[in-house]
Amino acid sequence: MQLSPEPFCSRVSKVLRGPVSIAETVLGFFYPEICQICGKERATPKSGYICVNCWQHIQFIRPPFCARCGLPFQGAITTEFQCANCCQLNLHFSSARSAVVAKTVVLETIHRYKYRRHLWFEPFLADLLVREALPVVRVQRWDMIVPVPLHPVKEREREFNQAARLAAHLGAAAGIPLRCKLMRRVLPTVSQTRLTRGERTANMSRAFAIRGGVKLDGERILLVDDVFTTGATTNACAKVLRQAGAGEVCVWTVARGL
């Protein structure tokens, strides 16, 4: 079943104000309302400049999927299961879920959003996260949302943390406090894009820390990032949060690499 880009996009785009709103205003003056992916069909700032036709290429993650890491599977599986990878790993989060598969339209918008500062894609990406995560998290009790932090040098270069901005949309929609300063990135790790699973894990080792003076006492935490691939980044974050006293850490991301 294909999902429509409405009605979530129009509501989510109003949740967070800042650079995106400014970008939308500027684009409205200088650019036509056209899809920024195909360049052919009409698309508005509220839809993140993604047209209805490009929406048809989005693959939402539906059961069956691994109960631990959210990896989707083909075929008929009616009982809860964990994939072989999760059975072999020491995971510190209780579960990880992603809204969509990281390919085609989604992968391109994430890359352009993060690395080329195409902030007008934010409503689209936030919409994907909120429409899938909100029905799940609103029936559970969560004490806070924590975005995966960027190293200060990288955040200065990029001028924003995509995980924090996307997490803010989910926090506003779900009514869950956002704690951007709870955790910090202490090592300027290299890009994970071309690393193997083992290299990613080593790259993330000791990369994160809880800020001084912060104490946790059994809080249930939603950890938010843009993409889940091997889980090395979110698992490293979850480990630090659990060691600091968090009761449970659950991961939500916009996209899932396969």
Predicted confidence (pLDDT) per residue in 240-257, tens digit = 999 999 999 999 999 999
Q: What is the mean pLDDT of the chain?
A: 88
Q: What is the mean pLDDT of residues 202-209?
A: 82
Other Cβ atoms closer than 10 A to 160: 17
Other Cβ atoms closer than 10 A to 134: 17
Secondary-structure percent of the chain, ordered helix, strand, coil, rounded to 5? 40, 15, 45
Give the residue among 105, 95, 126, 119 at the shortest CA–CA distance from 58. 105
Predicted confidence (pLDDT) per residue in 130-186, tens digit = 999 999 999 999 999 999 999 999 999 999 999 999 999 999 999 999 999 999 999
Identify the pLDDT of residue 157.
Answer: 93
Q: What predicted TM-score, i.e. pTM, was given to this entire model? A: 0.86
Q: Using 50, 70 and 90 to split pLDDT, how confident is the model at 6?
A: low
Give the residue among 202, 207, 150 at the shortest CA–CA distance from 181. 150
Do residues 93 and 234 make contact, with C-beta atoms less than 8 angstroms apart? yes
Residue by residue, DSSP assigns 194-219 as: T--HHHHHHHHTT-EEEPTT---SS-
Identify the pLDDT of residue 93.
Answer: 98
Please check the confidence at residue 16 and state whether its pLDDT lies above 50: no
Identify the residue with better confidence: 52 or 7.
52
Cis peptide upstream of residue 7 (ω within 30 degrees of 0): yes
Do residues 83 and 66 make contact, with C-beta atoms less than 8 angstroms apart? yes
CATH class of the domain defined by 8-256: alpha beta
Identify the pLDDT of residue 53.
Answer: 96
| Residue 35 DSSP SS3 | coil
* Residue-level length of the chain: 258
Domain boundaries, given as residue ranges, for the chain: 8-256
